[in-house]
Amino acid sequence: MSERRFRFGVVGSPRTGEEWMTTVRRAAELGYSTVLMPDGLQLPSPFPSLAMAAAVADIRVGTFVVAAPLRTPRAAAWEAHTLTVLTDGRFDFGIGTGRPDAEQQTAEIGLRWGSAKERRDQVRETLDQLAKLAGDRRTPIMLAAGGPRALALAAARADIVSLAKDAMTPRADVLRLVRDLRELAGSRADDIELAMNLFAAGTRELPPWTKRAAGVEPEVLEASDSLMMLRGTPQEMADELQRRRDEFGTSYISVNSTYLEDLAPVVEMLNGK
């Protein structure tokens, strides 16, 4: 397995344009490689948000991740290709079948949620539509993968795979996921960048919304060996990320924007190494 250099991203959930621009500029100043936006009706739309981000800082932008049922495949491909063109290739298109709360949001905008298979087929169709638009402006694809069918899709189509497991998934299960992905990818295995998203970093107390976001009480998450957590001093966190890269191959590390400053010393130590 080839060892990729580290890069780092920030996942935002802005309430105002000013807050978002502050996050984007600060991420660029601190050496983060990307700023990422989730998808959901409770947030600003990711595509215009990322267009703004790319205009105010020299940084890559990406969706993390688009819920396929919230748009028709052609519409999603059009939006993604537009960002690739307008950012001069600084856009990564993250797409998935949608979190459970996206089902109600899909109904709100008058589209079908569909079965798990139908939603996976919608992801495939979106990627096919994007490929038709690409020309010499191919867009890198990020897919989140947890289950076997999503893993097979990611192995076949993704440039970046975000390991999608819940907060309490044991390390052995994540390692098994990585091995399955590499086996499915075959000759493509070394071309796939493995990503891991952090819920929290550093030593600050976990926020009160931890249970809603992670599914467990803050004290339970804190006491666990969760891969969504990266705790300790900057050196301890850097050492742990290097261990994870050795164990799982994860080199693209993103963090909730709440912890942008907490992870910054680690970004300085490891970025590009």
pLDDT at 261 over 90: yes
Give helix 73-86 / helix 46-56 axis angle, nearest 10°: 0
Residue ranges of domains in the chain: 7-270
Mean pLDDT of 181-194: 96
Give the model confidence (pLDDT) of 10-63 as tens digits. Answer: 999 999 999 999 999 999 999 999 999 999 999 999 999 999 999 999 999 999
135 to 138, 168, 169: CA distances (angstroms): 7, 42, 40
Q: Which amino acid is at 216?
A: V
What is the per-residue pLDDT for 135? 85
In whole angstroms, what separates CA 225 from the centre of its chain?
21
Give helix 46-56 / helix 17-29 axis angle, nearest 10°: 50
Contact 198, 229 (CB under 8 A): yes
pLDDT at 176 over 90: yes
For residue 145, the surrounding DSSP H or E stretch is strand 141-145
What is the per-residue pLDDT for 7? 98
| Residue 188 burial (C-beta neighbours within 10 Å; 0-12, 13-18, 19+) | middle
The pair of structure tokens assigned to 68 is 């396929």
Mean pLDDT of 254-271: 97
Closest CA to 218 of 233, 200, 235: 200
pLDDT at 71 over 60: yes
Tell me, what DSSP letter sits at residue 48?
H
Q: Is CATH 3.40.50.1220 the classification given to domain 7-270?
A: no
pTM of the model: 0.95
What is the per-residue pLDDT for 215? 83
pLDDT at 164 over 80: no
Share of residues in the chain with pLDDT > 90 (%): 85
133 φ/ψ angles, rounded to the nearest 5 degrees: -85, -15
What is the per-residue pLDDT for 2? 59
What is the per-residue pLDDT for 147? 86
More confident residue, 146 or 269: 269
> What CA–CA distance (Å, rounded) separates 146 from 142?
13
